[in-house]
Each structure stands twice: as C-alpha cells, then as structure tokens.
Amino acid sequence: MRLLVRAVLLLGVLACRLPGRDELNLFAWSEYVPQKVIDGFTKETGIEVNYETFASNEEMISKLVAGRGDYDLIQPSDYAAEALIRANLLAPLDPALLPNRRNLDPAFRHLPHDPADRYTVPYMSGTVGIVVNSAVVHDPVAGYADVFQPRYAGRIVVLNDNREMVSWALASLGLPPNEITPATLERARPVIARWVRLVKVFDSDSPKTALLNGDVDLGVVWSGEAAILWKQDRKFHYVLPKEGAHEFVDVLAIPVGSTHQAAAHRFIDYVLRPEVSKLISDEFPYTNPNAGARKLLAPDQLANPASYPAGGKLETFRDIGRMASDVDRLVTDVKSSQ
Amino acid sequence: MSGTGPRAGSLAWLLLLPLLAWLAVFVIAPAAILFVYAFCEHDELGRVVYRFTFDNFHRVGERVYLTIFIRSVGYAAVTTALCLAAGFPAAWYIARRPAALRHRLLLLVMIPFWTSFLIRTYAWMTILKQDGLLNSLLESTGFTRHPIELLYTPGAVTIGLVYAYLPFMILPIYASAEKLDASLVEAAHDLGAGPLRVFAAVIIPLTWPGIAAGTLLVFVPAIGMFAITDLMGGARIPLIGNVIQNQFFQARDWPFGAALGVVFLLLFAAAYVLLQRPKPAAA
C-alpha cells in the first residue's frame, strides 16, 4: 500500500518535472488577469500558465512564505512588494529580457517602493475613492466628511480592509496616511468608531454588489469597482476624496526560488505590449500605466472618471511592518464595541 | 464487542490503522503546530519566530476578544437551538415514514449539498436584499409598504447559519429516531403517560445520542464560521472566525491567530465533555 502511494507520488513529481513542458505558476489577484491574456501567452510561447488567486496582499505573503518555490510570478501591491524586497524575497529582474518596459508611462517608473526598478514592473494602478448613487444622493459629496454623516447611516459600503479605513481616518484628521504609530492610531480611534456605526456593509471582494442591489447608496471602494459601476449605469459617480486618496500600483515580481524565471520574464514582457495591456483595461478598467496601451483605448474608456480621475491629492501606502497587527486590533475593537 | 476471542484486539487495531494515521496527519499534527506557534513571536511579514512568549495568550484574554468569543458562542447557541427546534420534528417525522418515502425525504435533506455552499449563500442574498424576492413578495401582497431591512443584519446571519447547519442536526437525530422501537412509545401510552410525559420520559432519552451528536455537529462549526458573517452580515460584527482569519490575511500575526485557535480548540473540548455527560435521567 505504502509502496503504491510512493509510486503514485513519484509519478506525479516526474510529470511536473518533465523537460520540454514549460510552465509558469502565476499567483495573482482574483479577477485581475484576463483569460484572453493567459491564452494568448500560451498560444504564442507554448508555456502553460497555472493561475492561482489571492484576495489580499497579506494572504499572498502568507502563502508565499509558507510555500517557497511554488510560485514563479506574483502580483503584490506597492507596499507589499516593498516588504518583500526588504525581506530579500524577490529576485532581481533582468532588464535585457524586458524591452517592452519602454512602453510604461514615465510617471510609473522609479516608484518609492522600488526606486531603481530592480524588482518590480507596474501591472495596473488605481485609487480608492467615493462612489455615489446620484439617483438617491443629491447633495454634493466631496470627501470622507460628506460620506460619513448620520443621515447616511445604514446606506454606506466600505472596503473590509482595516488599513484602508485607518488611512481614511488619518487623512480626515489632516495626518499623512503612512504615519501609523500608537499615537496617531489613538487619534484615529474616535473617528473610526463614529464611522463604523454608519456603515452597512464591509466588503473588499465585490463592494459594487451592495450598490447595484440598492442596499446602499454611497461607498468608499476600489476605483476599478467604481469604473465597472459607471459603465453599467452613469448614475454612479466617482469622486476622489478631497482630504486625500490612496493610490495603489499593483506590480509583477519574481519571487526568490522561482524555477521558471525565464518564463516569468517572458510573461512580464508579453503583458507590457500595448495591445496586450489594452486587453486588461477592457476587462478590468483600472488605471493603465502603459502609455502605449492608453493610446489604443477608446475615448469612453479614457473618459471613465473612475479609471482616469482628474487630479487630486494622491498618496501611496508604504510598508508598516508590525504595525499591521495594531491596526487590526484597533478596528476589531471598534467594530466589536459599537 | 466482548467475547469475540483474544485475537480481535490486534485485528481491530489493524483495521483502525488508516483512521489513526489520518488522525495523526490531519488532526494531531496541525493541532501540535498550532500549539507551538501560539507560544512564539512573529516578524514583520507575520512569520513565526521561534522565541517563547506568553503574550499571545495575554492578548486573547483582553476584553475585546473575550467579548467576541462570548458573542460567537451566543450566535452558535441560538443557531443550535433553532436547528434543534426545526430539526427534531423533521427528523422524527421522516423516521416514522415507510422505508421508501423515508429514503426520498432523506434525499431532500441532503440535496443542498449538491451545490456549493457559497452559491447557496449568494442565493440567500438574492432573497434577502432590499429589492430581493422576499421584499418584493411582502410589498406586492401588501404586508409592507417599504422594503424591510433583512440582509446585512444579525437576523440574516442567523438565517444563514441555521440554513447551513440544519442537515447536520436532522441526520443524527434521524439515525436515533429510526432505531427507536415504536412499541416502547405505545407501552408508555398504555401505562397511562400523556403525550408530554412520553416525550420527556421515553422519546428524549432514547434519541439523546442523536440530539447530542447533532448539537455538537452544529454548535462547534457554527462558532468558527466566518463566510456567512462576512457575506450575509456585511462583516459588521466580528465573530471569532473572522478575527482568526484576519490574523493571517490582514494583520500578519500568525502566532496570535494560532493562540486564538488553541483557545478555540479547548472550547470545543469543553463542549464535547459537557455533552458526553450521562443523558438526562428518565423522570
């Protein structure tokens, strides 16, 4: 019996290691890499892509450090990439294998999380902002203070993401969103306590659902979700909060221990082609950092205020390391004692 | 299994071997890892650093987490009570039918398992949302003029929990009720016991193993459930399952998540011991 099990296991291992059958283990956000892109890549290169998904940066980090070598290409957000670089968990990229990097908008080069562009390549970018169902809400909504008002109690959806919520509270207090210390958290506490009482739904995976269903009328959500809402119905307006908005850049990176680094480089360069990058925008209307791809977009794609918001105070997240635990404790406490 | 000869012992162990191996690999080993992690520190990425500390358990004892524990137990208790109230009559009814009908009715209890749990939860959201099926029905029949707030409330969470765990209550009670000898009930009636007395003195004691098993099967997983509170409760009120999940997927604090898990395991053990106590004495 045990022999049989061993034989089966060995066969399985052999099947995975057979030479000639190239593959790529992609670990990326759910609903973020179009099937068309994966199919196109496999068709052109013959490289099989195994697409495994995650729903938060922390989930990705957990699985990455638990199973080293399982993934060849990952898709962290800027601050998560920063943490991984600091922990020496990312492999440096080979610029010679990424000629299409020249298509990127210069604004997306040399970002704070990877100043020398040594480890990461931007995939898509976006913001976290306010969505308003203008058919129900008639008063102007310009910032967090306008959203979290008693008269909208029970009509609000926000991301179920503790760090996001803390950063909004800090912005509303005029504090920089990355300055997370025990002192600033204490200042944010009463603000968050007031806000969570007004919120009906906390949802990071699909905050648009509650808005579409009519269960809520306002929200603080990912810009991509807002862009999809706007595409479906123009009554959903997107506003960058005037107190300051979180801008995120999701990147592609190769973890240390990847056994298919050449294939990973090929995939990154493939995605950097304007016509391929455009396919991503078609399906997931976030902000495309690829200047070449933007030229190919239709006017109404570029006119989507959630995908390409007009100016505003934007700030990216930096890694906060161990403070993530204190942020979680604060929000859990506040939510629990409402 | 007495009186089957001296060799039965070793044979029984041999037969048990696959089960024991399974338990060792999938129950004991993970629990041991959890136990070790719970006494460790963590680094910036949430990884476990093997340095002994009691801090995680100190933190479990904080008021926030105790409140959440108590609230989770409350939800699980209400769920279990409702499942018992709905499940016992259903199980009893099914068990008293002729065999052919019985099997068909049992199939109906199990049919929901053919669809993914998440899809069934989303179906409930479609029923309970503001312009959903239930509200449309209530409004069109004139029961209410405005939609009632159903989804994203504690009530919705309870509905979701009862719906998810009801079969786990019905099946073990059915197994006990089916074995119950009908002549015992008749004898009780003949001896002058009223319906209430028969129920309390005969039926409950004889179906007690099923009730105990069903209660355990519902209560224990209901405490740790996090998907229903997220989807149907709007993640407004954290239950212990959500807090544990957050330690791994948001807070980067595996050891604290492990410590919560260990306390959780002890709670299970306590519930088990409580239910294994002798059945209520027949009055």
Give how many domains chain B has, as a whole number.
1
Among left, alpha and beta (phi > 0; psi -120 to 50; other), residue A76 is: beta
Architecture of domain A126-247+311-336: 3-Layer(aba) Sandwich (3.40)
Given the cut 0.85, state whether the ipTM is greater than it.
no
Would the pLDDT of B1 be above 90? no
What's the pLDDT at B11?
Answer: 85
Domain that holds residue B137: 33-275
Would the pLDDT of B281 be above 60? no
Across the interface, do B235 and A203 touch by the CB < 8 Å criterion?
A: yes
Beta carbons of A252 and A73 less than 8 angstroms apart = yes
Instruction: Please give the residue of chain B at the shortest CA–CA distance from A199.
Output: B236
Count of CB contacts below 8 A, A vs B? Answer: 108
Placement of tokens 């970018």 in the chain: A125
Task: Find which of A29, A56, A58, A180 to mutate to test the B interface (most B CBs within 10 Å of its CB).
Answer: A58
Q: Please give the backbone phi and psi of residue B220, each rounded to the nearest 5 degrees, phi first.
A: -65, -55
Taking the CA of residue B210 and the nearest CA in chain A, the distance in Å comes to 35
pLDDT tens digit sequence for A257-277: 999 999 999 999 999 999 999
Across the interface, do A55 and B249 touch by the CB < 8 Å criterion?
A: yes
Across the interface, do A332 and B246 touch by the CB < 8 Å criterion?
A: yes
Q: Is A17 on the interface with B (CB under 8 A)?
A: no
Query: What average pLDDT does this structure show over A195-224?
Result: 94
What's the pLDDT at A55?
Answer: 83
Q: A70 falls in which pLDDT band (50, 70, 90)?
A: confident
- Within 189-208 of B, beta carbons closer than 8 Å to A belong to none
Nearest Cβ partner for A328 among B71, B235, B250: B250
pLDDT tens digit sequence for B146-196: 888 899 999 999 999 999 999 999 999 999 999 998 899 899 989 988 889
The pairing of strands B41-42 and B48-49 is antiparallel
Q: B6 falls in which pLDDT band (50, 70, 90)?
A: low
What's the pLDDT at B8?
Answer: 63
Q: Is A58 on the interface with B (CB under 8 A)?
A: yes
Does the A2-125+248-302 domain belong in CATH 3.40.190.10? yes
Would the pLDDT of A15 be above 50? no
Entry field: residues in chain A: 338
- Residue B176 falls within a domain, yes or no? yes
- Residue B225 falls within a domain, yes or no? yes
CATH of the domain at B139: 1.10.3720.10
Q: Is B183 on the interface with A (CB under 8 A)?
A: no
- Measured between beta carbons, the chain A residues lying within 8 angstroms of B68 are 332, 336
Task: Find which of A159, A185, A202, A337 to mutate to test the B interface (most B CBs within 10 Å of its CB).
Answer: A202
Domain boundaries, chain A: 2-125+248-302, 126-247+311-336
Half-sphere exposure of A50 (CA within 13 A, CB side): 10
Taking the CA of residue B145 and the nearest CA in chain A, the distance in Å comes to 17
Task: Tell me the percentage of chain A whose pLDDT exceeds 70.
Answer: 93
Q: Is B246 on the interface with A (CB under 8 A)?
A: yes
- Residue B8 falls within a domain, yes or no? no
Beta carbons of A280 and A288 less than 8 angstroms apart = yes
pLDDT tens digit sequence for B200-241: 999 999 999 999 999 999 998 998 888 899 999 999 889 999
